[in-house]
Every structure is written in structure tokens, then in C-alpha cells.
Structure 1
């Protein structure tokens, strides 16, 4: 009785393992064919990269403004 149970569990595990392996292979083939990203994902990444570049390019100006505000606040602090 226990031999039959062990055989069923072993065969069932092997079948599940083959199914998972097949899904992995199919997924990798689909990814390779489509280039990995859909057009929507590529557009989203391009937009994110553009936004990051805009933020990076605006940082020096923001730093100048912060320094100006620090100067104003320090001058006001000395007058009191």
C-alpha cells in the first residue's frame, strides 16, 4: 500500500516538474521573440529616462535657488 502511495507521489511530482519546466521554456521563448519588452513598456521606460534627465538637468538651478534662500534666511537672522 505504501509503495503505491510513494509511486503516485513520485509520478505526480515528476509530472508537475515537467509542467513547470515547460512553462519556463515557453516563457523564455516568448521573451526572446518579443525582444523582452512590449512597445508600451519601451515607451514607459523612455518617458522615465526623459523625466530623470530633466530632473538631473534641473538640479544645479535648484541648488542655486537653495543657496540664495539660505543667504536670505541667514541675513534675516543676523538683523534680529
Structure 2
């Protein structure tokens, strides 16, 4: 009876260990495929990337506008003298 009890416990622990190992392996594979990010996190990062690219692409126009304003202010300063 004691041997049967030990055998049942051993089999139960073995099955539990296999299940846990399987969950760990599946989690690792899933993380490797998705880069460790959920779909929502990927969408958020993609939106942030688009916003940063838009800002970066708009910077030359902003620089031109600032230079134009500086020119206007300098010309007005010379006219007021």
C-alpha cells in the first residue's frame, strides 16, 4: 500500500513537472515570435514611431519658418532705426 502511494505521488509530480515545462516552452516560443510584446503594445509603439517620424519630417519646415521670422524681425528692426 505504501509503495502504491509513493508511485501515485511520483507519477503525479512527473505529470505536473511536464505540464509546467510545456507551459514554459510555449511561453518562450510565443515570446520569441512576438518579440515579447502583445499586439496592443506593438500598436502603441507603431503609433509612437509614426508620430516621431512625422515630427522629424516636419523639422526642416519648422526651421525654414523660424529663419523667415528671424529675417522679418531683423528687417523690421533695421526699418525702425
TM-score range, shorter chain: 0.5 to 0.7
Q: RMSD between aligned alpha carbons?
A: 2.3
In structure 1, list runs of 5 or more residues that go unmatched: 1-25
- 1:31 to partner: Cα distance: 6.1
2:54 aligned partner:
54
In structure 2, list runs of 5 or more residues that go unmatched: 1-22
Q: Which of 1 and 2 has greater Rg?
A: 2
Which TM-score applies when normalising by structure 2? 0.58
Which TM-score applies when normalising by structure 1? 0.58
Listed as ranges, the matches of 1:20-59 within 5 Å are 30=27, 33-34=30-31, 35=34, 36-59=36-59
| 4+ residue segments displaced more than 3 Å | 29-32
Question: In the comparison of the two structures, how many residue pairs are matched?
Answer: 55
- 1:79 to partner: Cα distance: 1.2
